[in-house]
Amino acid sequence: MKRVVTLQDISCVGKCSLTVALPIISAMGVETAVIPTAVLSTHTMFQNFTFHDLTDEIKPITEHWKKEGFQFDGVYTGYLGSFEQLELAKNLIQDFGQTLSVVDPCMADNGKLYTGFTPEFALQMAGLCAKADIICPNLTEAAYLLGEEYQSTYSEEDIQTILKKLTALGAKKAILTGISLEEGKLGVYAYDATSDMWYQYYREELPEHFHGTGDIWASTFTGALVSGKSFEESLQIAVDYVCECIRLTLEEENHNTYGVNFEQAIPYLIERIK
Ligand code: PXL
């Protein structure tokens, strides 16, 4: 059985980070070890959330694992809350990420950093991205990683330039999520610097945007890749699953907006990765 380790927070309510990574990757038939970086009452889009930092736990956990001789088929990092955690994430990749490392630099969207993050943190996150095989920022995160202004409109040439700059940071492959080059279509655009190959995949844009879909995308992508799907198939499976989650959410009349219905879309995912 394949096994990944994921490093990110646990937001007790909010359907993001570990509360989506664990069920999704597990449902794909991949053992999912977790290192929680912090416990929050909710994700940071709610007001007055609690935050308990777990940085001090990370090194003892990985030291124990090293003594046990555990090995992983992939390391996947998501939301990280401090400069120290960025360094610990680099160590995790070095110690356990020889086969595959995926860094989702969760820290911003819609032109803005999430609560608690600074441009300095974003530049340090670029240092973690440099150590990864694959990174998957959205356009806002990409701008912060590169220390550039966020542009809400862009051409295909702009996207290719950003992807080249992102891989120049050090990652082998970079994926930009939330890309729309044609009215009504939304998807991903990726670049593999090792083979100089470009990849794109789009679906119809659905009428509402939800929180946590970036984490669902990255978890599904990582699970698919570790299960043996190709890079291109994994991109597509992850886009298709996010679409299915949103479709099911929109079917519910009184759906909430903090997260999508990924739970009832799990049978679709299991079929999709067969
Ligand atoms: O979805 C990314 C994410 C993960 N974890 C926490 C967050 C967010 C986005 O806001 O607040 C705690």
Q: How confident is the model at residue 256 (pLDDT cuts 50, 70, 90)?
A: confident
pLDDT tens-digit profile of 90-112? 999 999 999 999 999 999 999 99
Q: Is it true that domain 3-273 has CATH number 3.40.1190.20?
A: yes
- Residue 196 alpha carbon to ligand 1 centre in Å: 32
- Residue with token string 């400069």: 83
- Residue 219 alpha carbon to ligand 1 centre in Å: 14
Q: How confident is the model at residue 45 (pLDDT cuts 50, 70, 90)?
A: very high
Q: Is the CB of 61 under 6 A from ligand 1?
A: no
Task: For residues 157-185, give the mean pLDDT.
Answer: 98
Q: Is the CB of 14 under 6 A from ligand 1?
A: no
Q: Pairing between strand 51-53 and 197-204?
A: unpaired
Provide CB contacts within 8 A for 52, sequence distance 6+: 38, 39, 40
- Residue 68 alpha carbon to ligand 1 centre in Å: 31
Taking the model in full, what pTM does it have? 0.98
Q: Is the CB of 140 under 6 A from ligand 1?
A: no
Closest CA to 266 of 250, 244, 249, 247: 244
Alpha-carbon distance 66 to 61, whole Å?
9
Ligand 1 atom having least distance to the Cα of 78: 4
Percent of the chain clearing pLDDT 90 (strictly above): 97
Task: For residues 165-182, give the mean pLDDT.
Answer: 98
Please report the DSSP string for 233-261 in residue order. HHHHHHHHHHHHHHHHHHHSTT--SSS--
Closest CA to 146 of 167, 131, 115: 167
pLDDT tens-digit profile of 192-245? 999 999 999 999 999 899 999 999 999 999 999 999 999 999 999 999 999 999
Q: Pairing between strand 74-77 and 51-53?
A: unpaired
Q: What residue's CA is closest to ligand 1, atom 7?
A: 43
Q: Is the CB of 43 under 6 A from ligand 1?
A: yes
Q: Select from 7, 16, 209, 258 the residue to mutate for testing ligand 1; criterion: most ligand atoms less than 8 Å from CB.
A: 16
**Residue extents of the structural domains in the chain:** 3-273
pLDDT for 5 equals 98
CB neighbours of residue 115 within 10 Å? 11
Q: Is the CB of 5 under 6 A from ligand 1?
A: no
Q: Where are the alpha helices (DSSP H) in 69-208?
A: 83-96, 119-129, 139-146, 156-168
Average pLDDT along the chain: 97
Ligand 1 atom having least distance to the Cα of 81: 12
